Structure 1
Amino acid sequence: MAPDSSPVTVIGAGIAGLACARVLRDAGRDVQVLDRGRAPGGRLSSRTVRGRPVDLGASYLTAGEGSPFAAVVADWVARGLARPWTDTFAVAGPGGLRDRKSGPMRYGTPGGSRSLATDLASGLPVRSGTTVREVTAGPAVDGRAVPAAVLAMPGPQAARLLDPAGPAGRLAAAETWQPALAVVLGWTGRRWPADLHGAFVHDDPAVEWIADDGDRRGDGAPVLVAHTTAALAAAHLEDPAGAVPAVVSAVRSALGIDAEPGWTDVHRWTFARPAAPREEPFGLADGIGLCGDGWHAPAKVEGAWSSGTALGRALTR
């Protein structure tokens, strides 16, 4: 089949891939989205734990004032998919809470962050549970010629699909990513300060960030999500549960919690965040595009959306 009779193929249904696909569709281009997961989301990941959605990936959204993404977030807020959460987080360490740190408004998601990906995927032809094995020059996806292929995923994952000697393969291989574990901790009641929304944890070998999941979602559930350091995650990629005791100890010490959690859960992110996000918005070589939060620094949800949007516009040209 000739390339111009096949759809542009976007591989990866995270926010970057979906943003790219929406630009292409809105420009009248035939597009399909392939994703190996059970549902769109990528690192906008929510999973039902103990009967409620828990955000395991991106902890919140921010939107630069006057940026195109700000309009997207405002629409989500207007439709109840996102909510203003807080502009202030605590700073903690092994010895407990130290200070408060203010910044831009962070937005949470009442239905879990995956609900935003579901919204972006509305109207798009998304095939979940689909594993792509290779993207080759031409370009072609698993031997099928396409007018363009987009790999919206971390560079190390994209590199597995590409010819390492090709320009797109070299771009993907140049990215270095760090792992993390997301550990969910639940109590029967809240045991941390009432005004604590989340905490950056400094100088701790186990934990870097703690989010009050009930606070950011607005249902008040006594549930925290802690993201580990890259070093702890790397040591436990084959045994994520083995890291939980160290995380529980670090969280209790940082927030002054006087009791063990009633339950825990853990999720592994082999590729959680880029070590050095690129300044360029995307990569494009020989009809193969690369986008996501490894591009368009800093590596945030807004950056991933902007990366996919910019690549989609480039492909329409």
Structure 2
Amino acid sequence: MSPSSDVVTIVGAGMAGAACAAVLRAAEVPFRLVERGRAVGGRMASPLLHGRRIDVGAGYFTVRDPEFAAVVDRWDIAGSARPWTDAFGVLVPGEDPGTSAGPTRWATPNGLRSLVRALLDGIDVDHEDITELPEGDVVLAMPDPQAGRLAPVPDAVDYDPVIAVVLGFESLTLPFRDAAFVNEHPDIQFVADDGARRGDGAPVLVAHTTPECARAHLQNPESAVEPVLKALRELLDAPAPIWTHAHRWSFGKPADHHASTYSIIESGGRTIGFAGDQWSSTGPPRVESAWRSGTDLGRALAALRV
């Protein structure tokens, strides 16, 4: 279906695209939401693995923005999200485990993707791969390298790849609670106790590789399982898993961030907006910055229609 030129086409149904769609719906601006993947969520993916939803992208989210906090309060009341922990372990090869305090991290009982679905309640999503700009105004809610295939991104930022390796065990004893940052290791940089994160106590770990490890295994993500297993044996004395799964993120994490929450350009007689977690004026990219970006861009586009 070709949208009319009055319709804003939002490409990407992750957190930024969903937030933008929610704003346009409230402002009664006609739009169409397109996602090339089989499910919404983007890098907040929570596939069903061995009977459980498991977060293989973003591991948690934090709350700083007062307006986002109001959204999170509604999720909390609905039971869609819960405060998880304000302290992560710290693992360094050859050293005793430590602990690092920080902001409250939030988790979800049904995977982070469920929050994107909540924002999109009642909004239709067309699943197709957009290879050229559609007619009319467009929102590109995606990593800059992907958006750059469709339109020139102002001051585009680079991305690092990540491979998320999920491991299921018969039982598991860990030297940390909830999750741990891994420093000075060549292959992994973060590991989460998914049973603690989900709240069901399942013996499942999710490990995120370093960018260097991911680059070495991008063409065959399953080949990253063995170095991750080796790292977990070294750091955690982890037992042999009973199953594993590897998920490739070619554009896993922004290596930098923009100084504004979104951008709008005019090109070929149309307005093109850019949004995503990389559009983060307040610091490193986060789930919260993706929501802020999509929300701010949606409001800016709605204002242009007045």
TM-score, normalised with respect to structure 1: 0.90
Partner of 2:149: 160
SS in 1 for 2:278: coil
Instruction: Work out whether 1:187 is the aligned partner of 2:169.
Output: yes
Partner of 1:121: 120
Instruction: Work out whether 1:243 is the aligned partner of 2:241.
Output: no
Instruction: Work out whether 1:15 is the aligned partner of 2:4.
Output: no
Separation (CA, whole Å) in 2 of partners of 1:311 and 1:266 = 34
The AA in structure 1 aligned to 2:146 is Q
Separation (CA, whole Å) in 1 of partners of 2:101 and 2:264 = 37
The CA deviation at 1:98 is 2.8
Q: 1:215-234 CA distances to partner (integer Å, 9 max, x unpaired)?
A: 01101000000000000001
Partner of 1:112: 111
Instruction: Work out whether 1:271 is the aligned partner of 2:251.
Output: yes
Separation (CA, whole Å) in 2 of partners of 1:217 and 1:307 = 27
Partner of 1:48: 48
Partner of 2:62: 62
Partner of 2:34: 34
SS in 2 for 1:46: coil
SS in 2 for 1:115: helix
Q: 1:221-277 CA distances to partner (integer Å, 9 max, x unpaired)?
A: 0000000000000111001111111101112222233x2222211000000011111
Unmatched runs of 5 consecutive residues or more in structure 1: 136-140, 163-168
Does the 8 A contact of 1:279 with 1:295 survive in 2? yes
The CA deviation at 1:95 is 2.3
Aligned pairs (5 A) from 1:1-317: 6-64=6-64, 67-95=66-94, 97-128=96-127, 130-135=128-133, 141=134, 145-146=135-136, 148-162=137-151, 169-171=152-154, 174-193=156-175, 196-257=177-238, 259-286=239-266, 287-296=271-280, 297-317=283-303
Separation (CA, whole Å) in 2 of partners of 1:84 and 1:12 = 27
Q: Which runs of 4+ in 1 moved over 4 A?
A: 2-5
Does the 8 A contact of 2:153 with 2:274 survive in 1? no
Separation (CA, whole Å) in 2 of partners of 1:102 and 1:253 = 24
The CA deviation at 1:3 is 8.7
Q: Give me the identity figure in percent.
A: 47
Does the 8 A contact of 1:90 with 1:97 survive in 2? no
Seen in structure 2, the aligned counterparts of structure 1 residues 81 and 97 have a Cα distance that, compared at 3 Å, is farther
Separation (CA, whole Å) in 1 of partners of 2:110 and 2:188 = 26
The AA in structure 2 aligned to 1:118 is R
Separation (CA, whole Å) in 2 of partners of 1:209 and 1:284 = 34
Separation (CA, whole Å) in 2 of partners of 1:94 and 1:262 = 25
Question: How large is the Cα RMSD of the aligned pairs?
Answer: 1.7
SS in 1 for 2:171: coil
Separation (CA, whole Å) in 1 of partners of 2:279 and 2:262 = 6
The CA deviation at 1:125 is 2.6
Does the 8 A contact of 1:32 with 1:124 survive in 2? no
Separation (CA, whole Å) in 1 of partners of 2:210 and 2:96 = 18
Q: 1:85-119 CA distances to partner (integer Å, 9 max, x unpaired)?
A: 10000000222543111111111110111111111
**Greater mean alpha carbon deviation, residues 109-118 or residues 201-210:** 109-118
- Give the number of aligned pairs: 297
Does the 8 A contact of 1:91 with 1:199 survive in 2? yes
